[in-house]
């Protein structure tokens, strides 16, 4: 039987203090933007159905109206996903 070889950590570069500062800065920005982004997404998800109603009452016979409705529906779904954790 052979002895298991030891793996050295020489291939792992030591962390650069400048890189760590950039990561901390990026994390701080991400955390500070999360609340306002969730707030905005939540209220967009609440308001968009009121725009859907006139489009539906007009009818979806025109391709432009149908495309607008589908795009607004997709934006609404994304806003619901992004804003679902607001005020928790």
- The pLDDT, as a whole number, for residue 2 is 60
- The pLDDT, as a whole number, for residue 1 is 58
- The pLDDT, as a whole number, for residue 72 is 93
Token pair of 51, please? 């725009």
- The pLDDT, as a whole number, for residue 85 is 81
- The pLDDT, as a whole number, for residue 14 is 59
Measured at the CA of 41, the angle between CA 49 and CA 80, to 5 degrees, comes to: 60
- The pLDDT, as a whole number, for residue 34 is 86
- The pLDDT, as a whole number, for residue 58 is 87
Place of tokens 């109603």: 53
- Identify the segments of the chain with pLDDT beneath 50: none
Contact 82, 38 (CB under 8 A): yes
- The pLDDT, as a whole number, for residue 33 is 87
């Amino acid at each position: 039987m052979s002895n298991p070889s030891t793996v050295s950590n020489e291939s792992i570069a030591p962390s650069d203090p400048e890189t760590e500062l950039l990561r901390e800065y990026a994390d701080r920005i991400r955390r500070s933007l999360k609340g306002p982004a969730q707030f905005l997404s939540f209220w967009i998800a609440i308001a968009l159905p009121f725009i859907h109603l006139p489009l539906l009452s007009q009818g979806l016979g025109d391709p432009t109206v149908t495309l607008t409705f589908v795009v607004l529906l997709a934006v609404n779904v994304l806003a619901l996903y992004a804003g679902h954790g607001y005020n928790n």
